Structure 1
């Protein structure tokens, strides 16, 4: 007896500012699989497959603001019509696709040698990006910077124990970026 094929539905996404779809996607397919199999976006990592490691994190931009969503446990159709950013969308590129400039988060991670194997890096890039964008709207007191960074990055797992350098890079970036730390607060 053969397994019955999955039912499909059209899926339309906006990823990194570019419209995709409608794509005929199985109803039970996770977004990480759509990114890989349909769109060739392989920067988002499939790690644990259970949403624990968060290597699969993408950013959703909607009325709630930028937020992290785990793409290995969230069905692709949840994202229908939504604006999504993957790690491929952070760096600036020219018309031919050549790299022009890394994002501030990517550059900070590179400057601090934050990654070893790099498997978890896309999730950390997205988490730090969401944190910085959130702080532009709601700055943090200087005394709360470390706790705020810990809260943002702690759910992400790194197999190579690169945590210290990720945290150092984000802390330096938060402290040196104007407007992220409340003036006059210690």
Structure 2
């Protein structure tokens, strides 16, 4: 088959440069297909495979990453429904970027440690999304505390869209409640 027929049958995938920050490291500019999903970019280009592909429709939130905004606030974003170029110029944190290394040891965030202490997950597939969602929720509580009597409802509202197929919600919510209660300024009486 000649090159012209190959090109007609299999056209070149259009690419454009992508630059963003992931886990504190500037990435790019790197040529990325314009139709590539962020989950695929993380897995295939950066070997960051901790963010899990779940439903492929943005429903389960297993693929959630955290977005850091210029004002210091955080939000969550799904990577299975948004293209890599949607994140152009943004600063995101995948599950690999939550824990930090200090003096040669890996130090987990309070949320990660609470999930372990509460045996929150069984298979762990949804855990990266829950870590991102819970971290964003705690950031919101630091900015706008809730009354202790409303904490359970606030946790449910914040993480209602995250699906755990092993039904570990009670332990996830207990862990998040423990961290919120232990973090000064998150909960008011």
Misfit runs of 4+, over 3 Å: none
Instruction: Describe the superposition over 1:54-90 as per-residue Cα deviations: whole angstroms up to 9, x where unpaired.
Output: 0000111124721111100001101111100111111
1:80 maps onto 2:82 in alignment? no
The alignment yields a C-alpha RMSD, in angstroms, of 1.4
1:6 maps onto 2:8 in alignment? no
Aligned residues: 181
TM-score by length of 2: 0.91
Q: Name stretches of at least 5 consecutive residues in structure 2 with no aligned partner.
A: 1-7
State whether residues 91 and 101 of structure 1, in contact with CA within 8 Å, keep that contact through their aligned partners in structure 2.
yes
1:120 maps onto 2:116 in alignment? no
| Aligned equivalents of 1:167, 1:83: Cα separation in 2 | 27
1:107 maps onto 2:113 in alignment? yes
Q: Name stretches of at least 5 consecutive residues in structure 1 with no aligned partner.
A: none
Instruction: Describe the superposition over 1:94-148 as per-residue Cα deviations: whole angstroms up to 9, x where unpaired.
Output: 48xx542111000000000001000000000000000011111111111110011
Match of 1:175 among 165, 172, 181: 181
TM-score by length of 1: 0.93
Name the SS of the counterpart of 1:32 in structure 2: helix
How far residue 153 of structure 1 moved from its aligned partner, in angstroms, is 1.1
The aligned counterpart of 2:151 is: 145
| Aligned equivalents of 2:105, 2:140: Cα separation in 1 | 26
| Aligned equivalents of 2:102, 2:50: Cα separation in 1 | 19
Within a 5 Å distance, the mapping from 1:34-73 to structure 2 comes to: 34-63=41-70, 65-73=73-81
The aligned counterpart of 2:24 is: 17
